């Protein structure tokens, strides 16, 4: 019984972590791929060119998706903390 609960909590934790981090990871992956393709085509191998667009994209994603990420994290945390008495 307790191991089923632990597995369910772990599953919920990993699923929420995946959902919360997915927008940021996906956008930075796409931006990094586009910048890499641009570097290969133009043969410009500037190191700052790989980091700055990713940082700008990450900040924009956090501004757009930040409230949703925070609401999702708060809902998970509130549910977890409020159910502590039922875990024992």
Structure tokens at 67: 């409230």
Q: Give pLDDT tens digits for 3-59.
A: 788 899 999 999 999 999 999 999 999 999 999 999 889 888 777 788 899 999 999
pLDDT of residue 48: 79
Residues sharing a CB contact under 8 Å with residue 13, sequence separation 6 or more, in sequence order: 76
Question: Which tens digits make up the pLDDT trace of 60-77?
Answer: 999 999 999 999 999 999
Round to whole Å and give the CA distance between 77 and 15: 13
Asked if residues 80 and 8 have their Cβ atoms less than 8 Å apart, the reply is no
Domain range annotation of the chain:
2-82
- Answer with the residue of higher pLDDT: 42 or 87: 42
pLDDT for the residue numbered 1: 61
Question: Strand runs (DSSP E) across 1-88, as ranges?
Answer: none
Q: What is the distance between the alpha carbons of residues 1 and 45, in angstroms, rounded to a whole number? A: 57
């Amino acid at each position: 019984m307790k191991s089923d609960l632990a597995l369910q909590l772990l599953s919920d934790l990993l699923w929420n972590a995946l959902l919360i981090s997915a927008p940021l990871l996906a956008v930075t992956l796409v931006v990094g791929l586009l910048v890499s393709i641009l570097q290969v085509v133009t043969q410009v191998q500037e190191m700052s060119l790989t980091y700055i667009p990713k940082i700008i994209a990450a900040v924009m994603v956090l501004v757009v998706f930040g409230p949703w990420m925070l609401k999702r994290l708060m809902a998970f945390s509130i549910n977890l903390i409020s159910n502590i008495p039922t875990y024992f």
